Structure 1
Amino acid sequence: MEESEELDLPKSRSANERLHAMIPGGAHTYAKGDDQYPEHLAPVISHGRGAHVWDIDGNRYIEYGSGLRSVSLGHAHPRVNEAVRREIDRGSNFVRPSIVEVQAAERFLATVPTADMVKFAKNGSDVTTAAVRLARAVTGRRRVAICADHPFFSTDDWFIGTTPMPAGIPAATTDLTVSFPYGDLAATEALLTRYADDVACLILEPAAHSEPPPGYLQGLRDLADRHGCVLIFDEMITGLRWSEAGAQGLYGVVPDLSTFGKALGNGFAVSALAGRRELMEHGGLRHRGERVFLLSTTHGAETHCLAAAMAVQSTYVDEGISARLHTLGERLAAGVREAASSMGVGEHVLVRGRASNLVFATLDEHGQPSQQYRTLFLRQLLMGGVLAPSFVVSSALGDGDIERTVDVVAEACAVYRKAVDAGDPTPWMAGRPVKPVFRRLV
């Protein structure tokens, strides 16, 4: 699509108005809101297959970051869908556990052998909050230490109170959450010493946009043991994408508890809390201490979602999906970097992160992160048929998809160069800038 061409989305604009009239924020996840997209260019999706989605205006896009990183095998994956259909025909929820719960637990623990027990739920916040509750219960301590460099852990008060959107959360709750910087063992030890015998857990993503420094994760393991707190790995993103067994399987450091979701269900609602038996059993019936209300959800063990999780894990292992995601990501990253460099914006359009979990940064003429330039870049991608709030790949992408994406990125970078030369991206934004998810005011 040439620079002069416009993408017109009349049906999507109308649907967005209807969404906002009935749903606060116009979406069920803030990161999917139309404020995250250029003005009037927030497509409403009709359907998807593989690495492509179609909006209700009939436009097709190559999609990245599918389902906020959850649809890592591509939309409507036949092996997953077949497993789901089979279980739906057998009933989805009963008054007693289904045999599928046994099978799903066995499959999960075979895939993540560093854990002894697992409990399933529907979303990531369920299980991260359960992990925190369990840590507080077994240690008898109040404070939660979160990694300050990781953007999201839960919708619950213990985390949201620390964000720029703490409205409705008592300060007394927020005061019990403290933070430590990623990669800095000395600062973390100082925190644990400062709050001696009062920190219940350290919770972090074991890896994010950069590899953990050598010895860092093992150093955290040692600190947690020395100070008597619980080490929790949030593997919502790293689970399956880093390796079938997550970051703990790749880096060889075993946390006390870990949480999984996103890729686990390929879009179906399933998450998992896993960990050491002596901790997890506090939420069970085979111990002599005070009971912990760990997780108890009506829909946590819906059979079709557990069937999806089993099919996903089997597909990852049988087809080497983790390795394929890395290969695709490496090819995409190399192409985007070459395109940006060739258009003279290699220092402004940056690709970061592990190959299976790529994000991009948009810097202004002074080298500073810019929402205005992000708006310009997203707009050009959309006009070229690429829907990419990130460059997180799915295994359904083909060589042609990558090549087309790189071509569109090159076209976008040509426009980006004009804006940098002008020192002002406004003429190419065609509306207000996209906004950060976490902000105090609308």
Structure 2
Amino acid sequence: MSGEELNLTRSRAVNERLHAAIPGGAHTYAKGDDQYPQDLAPVISHGRGAHVWDVDGNEYIEYGSGLRSVSLGHAHPRVLEAVRRELDRGSNFVRPSVVEAEAAERFLATVPSAEMVKFAKNGSDATTAAVRLARAVTGRTRVALCADHPFFSVDDWFIGTTPMPAGIPSETADLTVTFPYGDLAAVEALFDRYPDEIACLILEPATQAEPPPGYLAGLRDLAHRHGSVLVFDEMITGFRWSEAGAQGLYGVTPDLSTFGKALGNGFAVSALAGRRELMERGGLRHDADRVFLLSTTHGAETHALAAAMAVQTTYTEEGVTARLHALGERLAAGVRDAAAAMGVADHVRVRGRASNLVFATLDAQGRPSQEYRTLFLRRLLLGGVLAPSFVVSGALEEADIDRTVDVVGQACAVYRKALDAGDPTPWLGGRPVRPVFRRRA
């Protein structure tokens, strides 16, 4: 692929089939074709390592693989070997498999701050189970979540706070309150405003910014002082920050935490973990009211649990987290140099931890711009880089990073032209990309 040559004839036809059969044309809104430049939304045929191929035969270097879930790269041999060993043994039974015990023990050894764990298939089930458990053990109804973090669950307690609350009773949405990241005083004010009402604080322990010194420990102290449960959503930070997640890196143990994404390297598995005295309320060995914590037909699918164990082994034995950081640092430095060379360093910015990089596209006034994001994405795609973010996988090679930086440089040259013209429209190729959360389609 070069210049303006990118044949997506088959992808466009399949996109039409997807929209005809699936609301939104994808099973995750972040994968929708509205997130990509018009007529430049490739439909994937297959992937290997850090590369994917679309149904038209175009090859791309891929970032943000599987919405950050495929952190080892596609079709990773150690993961596939573990999965294949289980496939011929059956995948689901009327009683627990020994694999469930092995997977739980392996997880608790990897995340030693947790005392019990229960597996599910997606992050939303795990976070909602954490909220339900917190409400049960505290006898309270309000949930306090961090407003600076983009997503927690498909369930009503969270979606009711977004610009897409259709179908959610206001009575449910009103039970969720929000706080800004990094501000302990704001959390204290919430507890003062809703005394003895807040069941839990839920947040990602870190995202694009490092937690201020003492912040996470301060949150834990505040939660416990006010009788609330502290929940860390480690869907993204799990494994990418350290094998034990952000809680392992920063040394702050939450009451409950949720993991997913990188845990299965693309296979469907998530986890709710935490203190035994809380988690056991969803079990059978207590005298309190029972909590319907998690009960999923496919939560114990043996080959997915085998994949999770293989992922954890690979991370610890091969130093994957360190590799992700090294790759991300090389990429971030290259992108910043390329942007500076083209005079757009103030407009194309790389942010976040090296293992979890995103980019910002700013207009001439320094404001976030969907139009300039469209221009940038379009030039990346035309150069063979599929990058809704710059989140790296361990399968990337240095040559992939170098190629990506070259393409970014070409994109920045066009970006400069658009800034000088005062209007990016001629370089968009159609309508701009849209935010995922918006009230109207």
Q: Secondary structure at the match of 2:199?
A: strand
Q: What CA distance in whole angstroms lies between the structure 1 residues aligned with 2:433 and 2:343?
A: 24
3-state secondary structure, aligned to 2:213: coil
Q: Whole-Å Cα distance in 1 between the matches of residues 283 and 402 of structure 2?
A: 51
Match of 1:237 in 2: 236
User: Which residue number corresponds to residue 13 of structure 2?
Assistant: 14
Q: Amino acid of the residue matched to residue 69 of structure 1? A: R
Partner of 1:321: 320
> Which residue is 2:116 aligned to?
117
The Cα of 1:6 is off from its aligned counterpart by 2.7
Letter in 2 for 1:274: A
Classify the secondary structure of the residue corresponding to 1:84.
Answer: helix
* Aligned-partner Cα distance in 2 for 1:217–1:31: 29
Q: How does 1:23-422 map to 2 (within 5 A)?
A: 23-422=22-421
DSSP-derived class of the 2:374 partner:
helix
1:287 & 1:418 partners in 2: Cα distance?
67
Q: Deviations over 1:147-204 (max 9, x none)?
A: 0100000000000000000000000000000001100000100101110000000000
For 2:7 and 2:366, how far apart are their aligned partners in 1?
32
Residues 290-325 of structure 1: CA deviation (Å, up to 9, x unaligned): 000000000000000000000000000000001100
* Partner residue in 1 for 2:422: 423
- Secondary structure of the residue aligned to 1:264 is helix
AA in 2 matched with 1:398 = E
The residue type equivalent to 1:210 in the other structure is A
Alignment-derived partner of residue 435 in structure 2: 436
Q: CA separation in 2, counterparts of 1:423 and 1:106?
A: 58
Following superposition, the deviation at residue 8 of structure 1 comes to 2.1
Q: How far apart are 1:2 and its partner, in Å?
A: 4.9
Partner Cα distance (1:54, 1:43) in 2? 9
1:7 Cα offset (Å): 1.4
AA partner of residue 296 (structure 2): T
The runs of 4+ residues in structure 1 deviating greater than 2 Å are none
Q: Deviations over 1:121-148 (max 9, x none)?
A: 0000000000000000000001000001
Measure the CA separation in 2 of the matches of 1:54 and 1:278.
48
SS at match of 1:47: strand
TM-score normalized by the length of structure 2:
1.00
CA distance in 2, matches of 1:440, 1:207: 28
Q: Distance in 1 between matches of 2:356 and 2:329?
A: 10
Distance in 2, Cα, partners of 1:335 & 1:228: 47
The letter of the residue matching 2:298 is: H
Q: Distance in 2 between matches of 1:137 and 1:101?
A: 26
1:440 offset after TM fit, Å?
Answer: 0.1
Quote the Cα distance in structure 2 between the aligned partners of 1:253 and 1:77. Answer: 32
What residue identity is the alignment partner of 2:66? G
SS at match of 1:200: strand
Task: Work out the CA distance in 2 between the residues paired with 1:52 and 1:271.
Answer: 25
In 2: Cα distance, 1:181 partner to 1:29 partner: 26
State the one-letter code of the partner of 1:220: L
Cα distance in 2 between the residues matched to 1:400 and 1:11: 29
Q: Which runs of 5+ in 1 are unaligned?
A: none
Q: Specify the SS of the correspondent of 1:373.
A: helix
Partner deviation per Cα, 1:78-136 (whole Å, 9 max, x = no partner): 00000001001110000000000000001000000000000000000000000000000
Cα distance in structure 1, aligned partners of 2:244 and 2:69: 16
Cα gap change, 1:405 to 1:93, in 2 (>3 Å): same
What count of residue pairs does the alignment treat as equivalent?
Answer: 441
What one-letter code is carried by the residue in structure 2 that aligns with 1:353?
G
The alpha carbon displacement at 1:375 in A equals: 0.2
Deviations 1:360-385 (A, max 9, x none): 00000111000000000000000000
CA distance in 2, matches of 1:222, 1:62: 44
| Local SS of the residue matching 1:350 | strand
User: In structure 2, how many angstroms separate the alpha carbons of the residues matched to 1:72 and 1:405?
Assistant: 18
RMSD: 0.5
Query: The residue matched to 2:405 in structure 1 has which SS?
Result: helix
Identity %: 82
Distance, in Å, in 1 between the alignment partners of 2:261 and 2:439 is: 27
In structure 2, C-alpha distance between the alignment counterparts of 1:12 and 1:2, rounded to whole Å:
18
**TM-score under structure 1 length normalisation:** 0.99
State the alpha-carbon separation in 1 of the partners of residues 365 and 195 from structure 2. 43
Q: What is the distance in 1 between the residues matched to 2:163 and 2:174?
A: 15
Structure 2 residue identity aligned to 1:242: W
Describe the superposition over 1:394-432 as per-residue Cα deviations: whole angstroms up to 9, x where unpaired.
000001000000000000000000000001000000100
Q: Distance in 1 between matches of 2:54 and 2:65?
A: 14
Counterpart CA distance in 1 for 2:288 and 2:224 is 22
Q: Residue by residue, what CA displacement relative to the aligned partner does 1:43-73 show, whole Å, maximum 9, x if unpaired?
A: 0000000000000000000000000000000
Provide the secondary structure at the position in 2 that maps to 1:54: strand
